[in-house]
Amino acid sequence: MSVKYLNKALGYKRSWEKDFADLSLKDIDKMPARGMYQGTVWQYRWFVPFDVSGLKKLTGGEVSFLKQLDLFFAEDNYNHANQPDLQVPGLYNSSSQPWKSQKLFRNIMLDTVVQAYFNENSKGVDSYIGRIYKNEPQAYVRTMDDDAGTMSSWFVMRSIGLSPANIGSPIYYLTAPIFESVKLNWENGKSFHIKVSNYNKDHFYIQSVRLNGQALFRNWLTQEEITNGGTLIIETGALPNKNWGIEDQWISKMGLLTD
| Cis? peptide before 32, omega within 30° of 0 | yes
C-alpha–C-alpha distance, residues 155 and 143, integer Å: 17
Q: What is the pLDDT of residues 202-224, one digit of tens each?
A: 999 999 999 999 999 999 999 99
Q: In 3D, which of 91, 26, 33 has the Cα closest to residue 59? A: 91
Say if CB 160 and CB 182 are below 8 A apart: yes
Q: In 3D, which of 112, 71, 97, 61 has the Cα closest to residue 205? A: 97
User: DSSP string of 9-20?
Assistant: HTTHHHHHHHHT
C-alpha–C-alpha distance, residues 150 and 176, integer Å: 20
pTM of the model: 0.91
pLDDT at residue 175, as a whole number: 94
pLDDT at residue 123, as a whole number: 52
Q: What is the percentage of the chain residues whose pLDDT exceeds 70? A: 92
Q: What is the pLDDT of residues 165-198, one digit of tens each?
A: 988 889 999 999 999 999 999 998 999 999 999 9
